[in-house]
Each structure stands twice: as structure tokens, then as C-alpha cells.
Structure 1
């Protein structure tokens, strides 16, 4: 693509300056690379409140084991 070649063109209608600005803004947001945030450290206090228990495997008696404390 050369510098003179348009990135996109309007094929129907007559958009206003505001509509073109919104279109360009939407295209810029969609084509911008996503910044990946570094994972944050989880405190021991937060981690202790999370359930650790895995669900029981399917099979006979699994419905009963799902409601019982481990």
C-alpha cells in the first residue's frame, strides 16, 4: 500500500465530519494492539477465601458427594 492510497473509502452516502471521526476512531481502537497487564500478586488473605475443593467425578453417588463437606 502506497502513501497516497486510501485506507478505506465511502461507497454510498455522504457522512458528516462527526460520522467520519467516529468511524476512524472505531477503526483505530480495533486495530490497536492490546496491552497485556502483568499479573498482580494475590495476597494470602485473598487466596485463603477462595474455594479449593474440586467437584466430584460423575458416577454413582456423585450427587450426594457434591453436597457433603470434605
Structure 2
């Protein structure tokens, strides 16, 4: 919390290859995917950032027609505008 990191924390590898011999491009792709999944909150306008709750304005379900009403007069309610 003092702003200075211990040498152990700095030298610890983030990724470790256990088997195989990946190319630098494959390691870069894996690093990009893991960084994208980390959800670091700086990307407030992008999907999946989780910094703001989703509003009904962006919900796709509001464009779908509602289910028809069940019971007497349901057929009438299904054709009337809402």
C-alpha cells in the first residue's frame, strides 16, 4: 500500500508455458484475450465493462412484441397498439 512493490511481486511471471513451444504471436494473442477479459473499468463505454448498469434504453427486448394476454378479450388486446 506504500506504492513500492517487493522484488518478488515484480519478478513473478504472469504467464507460464507448461507444454509446447508457442510463437510470440500466439503468446501475444493469449495476452490480449486475457487482458480483455480482465475488465479493468477504464473502458466505460464498451460492452462488458460492468461500470454502469444496463438501462432499458439499450435493451433489445423492448423492440419485441409482448406476449398476448390470456383470457377473455385477449385476442382484442393482442392487436391494439400499446
Distance in structure 1 (CA, Å) of the matches to 2:79 and 2:13: 63
Greater relative contact order (Cα 8 A, min sep 6): structure 1 or 2? 1
Query: Which runs of 5 or more residues in structure 2 are unaligned?
Result: 1-7, 46-62
Instruction: Tell me the matched-pair count.
Output: 56
Contact residue 68 and residue 74 of structure 2 kept, 8 A: yes
Aligned counterpart for 1:3 among listed residues 3, 10, 30: 10
What TM-score, normalized by structure 2, do the two folds share?
A: 0.48
- Per-residue deviation at 1:55? 6.7
When the two structures are superposed, what TM-score results if normalisation uses the length of structure 1?
A: 0.54
Provide structure 1 residue ranges, at least 5 long, that are not aligned to the other structure. Answer: 38-50
